[in-house]
Structure 1
């Protein structure tokens, strides 16, 4: 089994390589006092909406007790959250990224993110494959979970999508026959 520090370094290296290859249009890591991370993976993160409310995005992972390795206030790594899987969690100016790093074929193909919304907000599926957080009274979009992308170590696109089961968004990643590590990016922004 990998040492947690080695896992964090491998996850950071894989995520960094893919983000650099994707280019400058990626959301940049930035401190955001409106984002509140939990200490353990299962604690998830509280993120702001455009109307001043906060929603909770959970990380439903096999090793939910995994403690975050905080590298700086806007960057943390949850090493070994599941078989052959790490999460590199970034705070951005308007939300978060949950860069999920899949290291091998034994890693899960589905990752669950339970979402808790305050009264008056709902998730609405978008044609892009993402979900908008919608204010029910006004019909306004106050947050967005962008459609996931995934890339293998050869920078080839890997099929990834979301399905909604109740209040849980499940990201499905078809990583069989890929070159590892595979990096995928659930990304929320207000």
Structure 2
């Protein structure tokens, strides 16, 4: 079992390879004082909306009490949050990304991210497969969960999508038959 800095390094290596292959248009890691990370995966992160409110995104997993390996203020790794699964959590200029690194076929194919919104905000499904955070009074989009992308270690696309289940966005990644590690990218931005 991988753990600590060794596990964090393996997850970072996998995520970095895929992000590099995807090119320079990916959101870059950046320290953002409007983003607040909790210590544990189950407590998640608070990210800003365009109207000054916050979105609370948690990671619902068996090892939810696991603390992050903090590499920099804007980068942390939750090692072993699921079977054969790590999450590389990045702060970006406008939000957060939760790079889900799947290391083997025993990993789950669904990942739950419970979302709590401030009063007056709602999630609205978009044709792209993502979700907009909408200010109900004005009808304005104040944040967005972009549709997830996913790639295997051969840089081949792997299907990934979202469904909404109660108060959680569930990312589905049918990764069986892919070349591991597989990296999927839930991204939230204001």
Look up the SS of the partner of 1:78 in the other structure.
strand
Query: Which whole-Å CA distance do the structure 2 matches of 1:2 and 1:32 have between them?
Result: 29
1:163 aligned to 2:156?
A: no
What CA deviation, in whole Å up to 9, does each residue of 1:154-176 have, x standing for no partner? Answer: 00000000000121100000100
1:50 aligned to 2:53?
A: no
**Unpaired segments ≥5 residues, structure 2:** none
Which residue is equivalent to 2:59? 59
Give yes or no for contact 2:86–2:101 (8 Å, CA) kept in 1. Answer: yes
**Count of residue correspondences:** 190
**Unpaired segments ≥5 residues, structure 1:** none
Query: Which whole-Å CA distance do the structure 1 matches of 2:166 and 2:42 have between them?
Result: 18
Look up the SS of the partner of 2:148 in the other structure.
coil
Which residue is equivalent to 2:5? 5
Query: Which whole-Å CA distance do the structure 1 matches of 2:3 and 2:63 have between them?
Result: 15
Give yes or no for contact 1:80–1:86 (8 Å, CA) kept in 2. Answer: yes
Which residue is equivalent to 1:85? 85
What CA deviation, in whole Å up to 9, does each residue of 1:21-78 have, x standing for no partner? Answer: 0000000000000000010111100000000001100100110011111100100000
TM-score (norm 1): 0.99
Give yes or no for contact 2:129–2:162 (8 Å, CA) kept in 1. Answer: yes
TM-score (norm 2): 0.99
